[in-house]
Structures are given as C-alpha cells and as structure tokens.
A and B are shown apart, each in its own frame.
Chain A
Amino acid sequence: MASRGGGTPAASGASGPAELQLPQGPRGLSPPPPPPPRNYADHNAPRRRRNYPPHTAPRPLPALARVSREEAGGGNRWAVTGPAMADRRPRARPGLRRSGHNARAVAQTGSSVENKSKSVRSTLAKQGLGVFPDLRNGTPRLMLKRVMQNQPQVSPLAPLISNHEDTKEAHSEVPSQRVSSMGELQLPDVAPEDTSTTVFNMKKKRRKFSISEFERAAESRLPQYQAQSALDSTVMTRSLRMSVGSLLAPDTVEKRGLLRRPKTRRAVDMQAFEGRVEQNLLKSKGQNDLVDSQSASGIRTSMLTSDAEMMMNSTELFVQPLLDEESQNKLSALEPQLSDSKTSAQRSPISDADQEEARLEGLVSSVSTNQERTQRYSKSTGLDDEHVDRMSHVSPETPAKQGEEKQDHSQQSNPVAKISVAEEEVVCTAERGASAGHSEHLEKKLAEKAELQITAGHASRGETEVAPSAGKEVEEGSTGAHSSPRAEHEITRGIGAESLGRPSHAFSSFEKPEVTPVDETDEQGDELQDEAMMLNLDSSVGEPAEDEAEQPESQEVSMKTPTFVRAPPHKLLLSAKPAKASAPSFPQSSPLKLLQPKTAPKRLRTSQKKPREPQVPRSLIKAIFRHFAKMPVTRDAFQIVEKCSERYFKQLSDDLEAYSHHAGRKTVEAADLEVLMRRQGLVTDKMPLRVLIERHLPLEYRRLLIPVAVSGNKVIPSK
C-alpha cells in the first residue's frame, strides 16, 4: 500500500470515510451507516496492473489518504471505486456498504466520470502513478470488467507465472496484505498466489510454466483451500480444486496400473467333456479302436495347442487326420479363426442348450464333415479361442441337435453330413436370397434345398437309400437347424469365403473320398464368391457323404487318401449342376450366375438355361427408388424392392388379364390400364390420368400417350 499508494495514500485514505460522508452531505443522499476509517491508497494506485491484491496490502496512513482522497472527489470515487471500492473495503459491512456504494457509484458514473476521472488522474499523475484510462472504470461494464479482471484468477496453467509481476510491483504486495472482505469476489488468503496466477494480465510476459512447480504449488495450496470453508463456493476454489483433483486422478489411475477387464470364461470340465467324447466315439460307426485314448489325448492336446500351431494345422490341404485328434486340432485351429472374425450372439444360447448332444455328435460330426465345421464356426464365433472344448460342444451343436434324433441311426456321420449339406444349402440360399431377416424363409428353403440337392446328388449316382434318409433327416434337422442357418448365414456373410472354404475344403478332402470335386473347388475357391463356393462346397460335401454311406463300416475317419484321387472328374459337373439347378428359383439367381467361377460354369452355362428371365434392370429400379425416397437406401432394402416389383408385375398382369377379359378383348388397351390405376387409387376424379402422365413421363412418351391437337385439324397421335 505504501508503495502503490505512495502518491495518494492520503487521498485514498481520506476518501474512505470522506466518501461516505461527502455524498451524504452535499448531495443529500440517505445517510449511510458510519464508515470505518478506510484507506483507499491502493485503490488510487495505478490501475494498469490488473491484479489488485486488495486485501493483503498494508494500509496507508489514513491521514494522507484522506487528504488525497478528498481531492479526488466524488467523481473519483464513483468513477473508480464502484467495484474497486468494494475490493478495498475492509471487511466491515461488506455487503450493504458495498452494494450501496456500488449503486451510487454506478448512478454517478455517467455524469461525473469525466470530471472526476480527470481530477483523479491528475492527482494520480502527480504521484507518479499510472493513470487508468478514461473509461477504464467509467461504465458499469468496465467496472465489472475490472472486478473480474482484478479477481485473482486461479488457473492451473498460470500458478507461477506472475512471480516476476510481483517483483515488478513490490507495492502490490502491500495491498495484497490487506484482507478484504470481498467474499465472493476474492479470496484474501489466496491473494499472493492469486495475484501470481492472474490470467488476464496480458502485459507481462508469462513465465515459463513448469509443471512440477505447479504441482508443488498446487499441493501446497490445497491444504490452504481446504482450510477455508467459507470460500468453498467460490469459483476459484472450485477451479483450483478441480485442477488439483485432476492432478490426483491420474496418479490414482497410474497406481492401479493397466487393469484389464477380466475375461469371464466358463471353466472347462475336462472330465465330463472327455467322458462324453469317449462316449461319442464309442457310438460312432463302430470304430472304437482309435477313439478312446487317442481322442481324449487329442482333445487335450488340441486344447493346449497354441494359436500358431492351430493355424498351421489348418493350412494343410490333404491332411488325413488320423483321427479325431487331428480333426480336433483342426477344429480348434479353425475355431480361433472364425471366432476372431465374428461374434454371434446366438451361440451362447445355442451352446448352453444342447451340450450333451453336441458332444455326442461332436467328434463324429467334426470328423465326418467339414461342412459341419462351418456351422460350428457359426456357433463358435464369439466363443473364446481358449475354450476349444466349448467350441466342440457348441460347434457340433446344430448337427448334434439333429443328431439327437439320429442317435439311433447306425450311420451317424451320414445324417450329420446330410444335415450339414442341408445347412450349407441354407447358407447358400440365405446368401442368394439375401433377405436377411427371413429366418422362416431360410427354414423352408433349408428343407427344400437340402432335399433338392441331396436328391439331385443322389439321383446322379443312383443312390436311393441315402436320399430318403437324408430327406427325412433334413426335415428333422430343419426345425432344429433354423437357428444355425441364421447364424451361418451371418457367418458366411461375414467371413471371407476363401478363408472359410479353404480349410473346409481341406477337411472335406481328407474326410471324403471324393477329392476331385474338392480339388476343383479348392482351385476355384479363390475365384468364387461366397455363394458359388458354398454351392461347390455343398456338392462336394454331398458326394463324399454319399460315399461314406457306401462304405460305412470300412471307412475310418482317417481316410482313404487314394480314394479321392480316384474320384471321377465328372462328379464335379454333376455336383455343380444340381447346385445350379436349385439356384434359378430365386429371382436374384440370374445375376448370381455371373458370379460363378469361370472354369466350372463355363460348361454349365451352355447346358444351363440360356434364356434369362426378363427383369427390369436393377439400376433403373435403384435410380427410381432412390429418386423417390430421397434418402439413402441400404442394399438389402433394394433387394426387397426388387422382389416387390416382381410381385407387383405379377399382380399387374393378372389384373390386366381380368380387365381385358371382362371387356371381351384379348389385348390390353390403355383403357384397361386406366381402370387398373383407378382401382389402385392413383387415378381419381381429382387426378386424371393425363396429369399423371404429364407428371411422371418424359416428353417423348407424353407425346405418344396424350393426344394433342395441332393446326390443320390434326391430332397427334392420330388414332
């Protein structure tokens, strides 16, 4: 105070009490309560500095202050003090007096600002203090601004900035020592640090901010703040606390370390699993020798195999898994692949449901059919990689479901194979149909397609025995398999065709005696798209299954390698044909044909139906629909639109035939069309057909449809 208010300690001091008294007397204002002696030297100090340390600065001599203060006069008071006065006011009567003074200051501001400020400025200038600008605190807005600026800002970024500021203006310490009862506006205790942390001081260069220093300062400040209960609500404390709190937070986080969410996995019941595996093996086609110990060991080993190992296992194309253990290895190998690719929510209910049956079928089915794997993968996607046994439980679940009924079957592999075929069909159909939500569709198609393909495949070879059983099983399985097709549908969509197909091919190869189709499919696997590959898979799977049926007893899971070599090449054509035959039933089949692999379909196309059914071009439908919808449309929605348009054309042709027949004609005329549109509600009394034509058709067509009269008594088009 002394340094700052050196020039005007008296003035400031004098104005303290004088301020209160003067206005009352000459101005006749309501008498305020008697003011305590006040020293406004710091208040009159140069205003350049924003960080007024109001309360900590020592008071100047009251006498001097008062004298200089009186000079300043009312204007000074009003002009500069408003909020500043409040700052400097001692704690006595903070609220009332401050508000009163502020009000008065504000009221007086406009008129007497300039006069008083000038006088003040002159006074201050004499004292060598920096003079605040004219409108510095003249208007209420500026006063408030000053208040806010003078408010010590506590910013986490600028705690140590203003050290040099303090040094620069040593006298600032003096006023800062004074405790002001600003209450909400200021924190007296914080003053020294607060001044240092003023954010708005733009004149001074900011000292380089040191985080460690800040932290230390914050830590030291923290107890101070905590001590002040009265200031809890202030913004500054809150902000500081927040900053300090944020400091603490990372520490706590670091202390905890990187916590990973513990994966909750179901514990594997080795005993039960192995027991069931053994049971399953015992039940399988009468091959008991290899099963018991080896399978159990194989399972164990499979479960323990590392991912890399499993991956390596899966890449072998013609592995002959000597037994279940190999197949188990592959199963486990494939599982991580697939489980990584997708997680299917369905698997959990499925897996939980029929574990027993799944296990029963597990090894057998896994060994017998690779197609099952695909379904298994669909179930298993989302399963943890580590839990191979779970996978095995779940994976054959679908086949297992169907297998339950077939447990009485002597040849369990066959039914499982058939079902897998059926399921593959389902996948194919799902792919082809592209109607994602129609599980019912899938179900029906599953039964249809499976039967269709199986019967077709069988017919080519004249194997009737398998067909009926297959068909029966398919039907049985279809009910249970509806969930699987859905999952598979998803899976096959999500999973890359080749990645799925190659291992499946590999497995099917060693399983099935028919290798040629597998070979071909393997070759084409890269070129094929999903559905095509599935088609080939189906065919290849179907045939081997039949072969297995042929040699049920003799065939061990570990295969007859040579048989696949022997497989006649013509089987591929036959297998592909039935697969293709099933395709055309779908509306979208014709475009899909284009996606067939180059090698196989080449010969098929010539024999296949060359005439493609007429279709309104997809692009046109897309363009029209998009234009009318004015919104982005998903691809699946377009498929549905196409289906709807086809159904619409069917309805339309029926109606037109009815109308023309009703009129006794064999030709559909424009009148029939108008009747149709009228019945559809497009043409009404308010909306004639002509208007619709004009609205929606381009000129060329309009010209053709709407008769226009031209000069020369001509009508175009002429009737």
Chain B
Amino acid sequence: MKRTAPRSTLRKIIKKHKPQLRLAANADLLVHLSFLLFLHRLAEEARTNAFENKSKIIKPEHTISAAKVILKKSRG
C-alpha cells in the first residue's frame, strides 16, 4: 500500500532549500526514513490529542498542537 520513496523529489526539496548542499548516494533514503518517523510521531501525537478530546476523528486543532510539539522535537 505504501509507495516507493520519492527520492528525486526529496533531493529537489533539499536542493531548493540548500542549493550548495550535496547528498550522498543513499542518503535520501535515510531522509525518507526520517520523514517517515516524523510523520509517525506526528500521527501518534495527533491521535493522542484526538483521544483526549474524545473525538474519533483527527481534527486540525489536534494536528496543530501536535505539530508544535513534534517540530520542536525534530529540530536536532
């Protein structure tokens, strides 16, 4: 069900942000992996927020509050 990692897209994105930066051969796979884990954490946090609100659907406000936390965590 999950599709292949958009390797070229990831490269382009990083290139857009940092044109002078290069990427190693399979580094973009690890970028994809980190992105997956980021989404994983975000989804978990949003899910927790939704549960706390006794809502069965993830709503934007849940996502926003989750994003604040997770983005801070993912700063490195």
Interface residues of A (CB under 8 A from B): 435-437, 613-617, 620-621, 623-625, 627-634, 636-637, 639-641, 643-645, 647-657, 660, 666-670, 672-677, 679-682, 692-693, 696-698, 700-701, 704-705, 717
- Nearest CB on B from A185, distance (A): 48
User: Please, which residues of chain A bring their CB within 8 A of the CB of B67?
Assistant: 640-641, 643-644
- Nearest CB on B from A627, distance (A): 7
Within 8 A of A (CB), among B22-63: 22-24, 26-27, 29-40, 42-44, 46-47, 50, 56-63
Determine if B36 and A696 form an interchain contact, defined as CB atoms under 8 angstroms apart.
yes
Determine if A637 and B27 form an interchain contact, defined as CB atoms under 8 angstroms apart.
no
Q: Knowing A647-B71, A652-B34, A681-B73 touch, does A628 contact B60 (C-beta < 8 A)?
A: no
Determine if B39 and A621 form an interchain contact, defined as CB atoms under 8 angstroms apart.
yes
User: Please, which residues of chain A bring their CB within 8 A of the CB of B14?
Assistant: 649, 652-653, 656, 668
User: Please, which residues of chain B bring their CB within 8 A of the CB of A649?
Assistant: 10, 13-14, 17, 35
* Cα-based distance from A628 to B16 in the complex (angstroms): 28
Determine if A645 and B35 form an interchain contact, defined as CB atoms under 8 angstroms apart.
yes
* Cα-based distance from A705 to B22 in the complex (angstroms): 18
* Cα-based distance from A643 to B26 in the complex (angstroms): 26
User: Please, which residues of chain B bring their CB within 8 A of the CB of A615?
Assistant: 9, 13
Determine if B6 and A630 form an interchain contact, defined as CB atoms under 8 angstroms apart.
no
Determine if A677 and B34 form an interchain contact, defined as CB atoms under 8 angstroms apart.
yes
- Nearest CB on A from B68, distance (A): 9
Q: List 28 A-B contacts (CB under 8 A).
A: A614-B12, A615-B9, A616-B9, A616-B13, A630-B43, A632-B58, A633-B58, A636-B60, A637-B58, A640-B63, A641-B63, A644-B70, A645-B39, A650-B17, A652-B31, A653-B21, A654-B17, A656-B14, A666-B22, A667-B21, A673-B34, A676-B76, A677-B34, A680-B75, A680-B76, A697-B32, A697-B36, A704-B29
User: Please, which residues of chain B bring their CB within 8 A of the CB of A701?
Assistant: 5, 26, 29, 32
Determine if A670 and B24 form an interchain contact, defined as CB atoms under 8 angstroms apart.
yes
* Cα-based distance from A676 to B38 in the complex (angstroms): 12
Interface residues of B (CB under 8 A from A): 1-6, 9-10, 12-18, 20-24, 26-27, 29-40, 42-44, 46-47, 50, 56-64, 67, 70-71, 73-76
| B34 and chain A: residue at smallest CB distance | A677
| A646 and chain B: residue at smallest CB distance | B13
* Cα-based distance from A433 to B62 in the complex (angstroms): 18
User: Please, which residues of chain B bring their CB within 8 A of the CB of A705?
Assistant: 26, 29-30
User: Please, which residues of chain B bring their CB within 8 A of the CB of A647?
Assistant: 71
Q: Knowing A620-B3, A620-B6 touch, does A696 contact B37 (C-beta < 8 A)?
A: yes
Which residue of B18, B32, B43, B64 contacts A628 across the interface (Cβ within 8 Å)?
B43
Which residue of A437, A613, A625, A692 contacts B33 across the interface (Cβ within 8 Å)?
A692
Determine if A631 and B56 form an interchain contact, defined as CB atoms under 8 angstroms apart.
yes
- Nearest CB on A from B27, distance (A): 5
User: Please, which residues of chain A bring their CB within 8 A of the CB of B1?
Assistant: 623, 627
* Cα-based distance from A640 to B23 in the complex (angstroms): 28
User: Please, which residues of chain A bring their CB within 8 A of the CB of B12?
Assistant: 614
Q: What secondary structure prevails in chain A residues at the interface with B?
A: helix
* Cα-based distance from A482 to B1 in the complex (angstroms): 43
User: Please, which residues of chain B bring their CB within 8 A of the CB of A628?
Assistant: 39-40, 42-44
Determine if B9 and A666 form an interchain contact, defined as CB atoms under 8 angstroms apart.
no
- Give 8 new A-B contacts, CB below 8 A, not counting A628-B40, A657-B21, A673-B33: A631-B50, A631-B57, A655-B75, A676-B34, A680-B74, A697-B32, A701-B29, A705-B30
* Cα-based distance from A630 to B57 in the complex (angstroms): 10
- Nearest CB on B from A68, distance (A): 71
User: Please, which residues of chain A bring their CB within 8 A of the CB of B27?
Assistant: 668-670, 672-673
Determine if B2 and A627 form an interchain contact, defined as CB atoms under 8 angstroms apart.
yes
* Cα-based distance from A220 to B61 in the complex (angstroms): 63
- Nearest CB on B from A702, distance (A): 9
Q: Which of A645, A647, A680 has the most CB of B within 10 A?
A: A680
| A681 and chain B: residue at smallest CB distance | B73
* Cα-based distance from A701 to B5 in the complex (angstroms): 9
Determine if B21 and A656 form an interchain contact, defined as CB atoms under 8 angstroms apart.
yes
| A653 and chain B: residue at smallest CB distance | B17
* Cα-based distance from A629 to B48 in the complex (angstroms): 9
User: Please, which residues of chain B bring their CB within 8 A of the CB of A654?
Assistant: 17-18
Q: Which of A616, A644, A650, A700 has the most CB of B within 10 A?
A: A644
Determine if B21 and A666 form an interchain contact, defined as CB atoms under 8 angstroms apart.
yes
User: Please, which residues of chain B bring their CB within 8 A of the CB of A614?
Assistant: 9, 12-13, 15-16
| B36 and chain A: residue at smallest CB distance | A696
| A617 and chain B: residue at smallest CB distance | B6
| A667 and chain B: residue at smallest CB distance | B22
Which residue of B6, B16, B39 contacts A613 across the interface (Cβ within 8 Å)?
B16
- Nearest CB on B from A372, distance (A): 29
Q: Knowing A629-B58, A634-B59, A704-B29 touch, does A668 contact B34 (C-beta < 8 A)?
A: no
Which residue of A632, A639, A680 contacts B73 across the interface (Cβ within 8 Å)?
A680
- Nearest CB on A from B61, distance (A): 6
| B21 and chain A: residue at smallest CB distance | A657
Determine if B34 and A625 form an interchain contact, defined as CB atoms under 8 angstroms apart.
no
Q: Which of B6, B15, B35 has the most CB of A within 10 A?
A: B35
User: Please, which residues of chain A bring their CB within 8 A of the CB of B30?
Assistant: 670, 673-674, 677, 693, 705
Determine if A668 and B24 form an interchain contact, defined as CB atoms under 8 angstroms apart.
yes
- Nearest CB on B from A222, distance (A): 47
Determine if A624 and B22 form an interchain contact, defined as CB atoms under 8 angstroms apart.
no
- Nearest CB on A from B30, distance (A): 4
Determine if A637 and B35 form an interchain contact, defined as CB atoms under 8 angstroms apart.
no
Determine if A648 and B59 form an interchain contact, defined as CB atoms under 8 angstroms apart.
no
Q: Which of A623, A639, A653 has the most CB of B within 10 A?
A: A653
Determine if B34 and A437 form an interchain contact, defined as CB atoms under 8 angstroms apart.
no
User: Please, which residues of chain A bring their CB within 8 A of the CB of B62?
Assistant: 637
User: Please, which residues of chain A bring their CB within 8 A of the CB of B39?
Assistant: 621, 624-625, 628, 641, 645
* Cα-based distance from A437 to B59 in the complex (angstroms): 11
Q: Which of A639, A657, A701 has the most CB of B within 10 A?
A: A701
* Cα-based distance from A620 to B39 in the complex (angstroms): 11
User: Please, which residues of chain B bring their CB within 8 A of the CB of A640?
Assistant: 60, 63-64, 67
| A630 and chain B: residue at smallest CB distance | B47
* Cα-based distance from A577 to B37 in the complex (angstroms): 40
* Cα-based distance from A667 to B39 in the complex (angstroms): 25
* Cα-based distance from A396 to B75 in the complex (angstroms): 47
* Cα-based distance from A639 to B63 in the complex (angstroms): 10
| B40 and chain A: residue at smallest CB distance | A628
- Nearest CB on A from B45, distance (A): 10
Q: Which of B14, B34, B64, B75 has the most CB of A within 10 A?
A: B34
Determine if A631 and B38 form an interchain contact, defined as CB atoms under 8 angstroms apart.
no
* Cα-based distance from A222 to B1 in the complex (angstroms): 70
* Cα-based distance from A265 to B41 in the complex (angstroms): 51
User: Please, which residues of chain A bring their CB within 8 A of the CB of B73?
Assistant: 680-681
Q: Which of B18, B21, B60 has the most CB of A within 10 A?
A: B60
Q: Knowing A651-B71, A676-B34 touch, does A641 contact B57 (C-beta < 8 A)?
A: no
* Cα-based distance from A436 to B39 in the complex (angstroms): 21
- Nearest CB on B from A695, distance (A): 9
User: Please, which residues of chain A bring their CB within 8 A of the CB of B31?
Assistant: 652, 673
User: Please, which residues of chain A bring their CB within 8 A of the CB of B75?
Assistant: 651, 655, 680
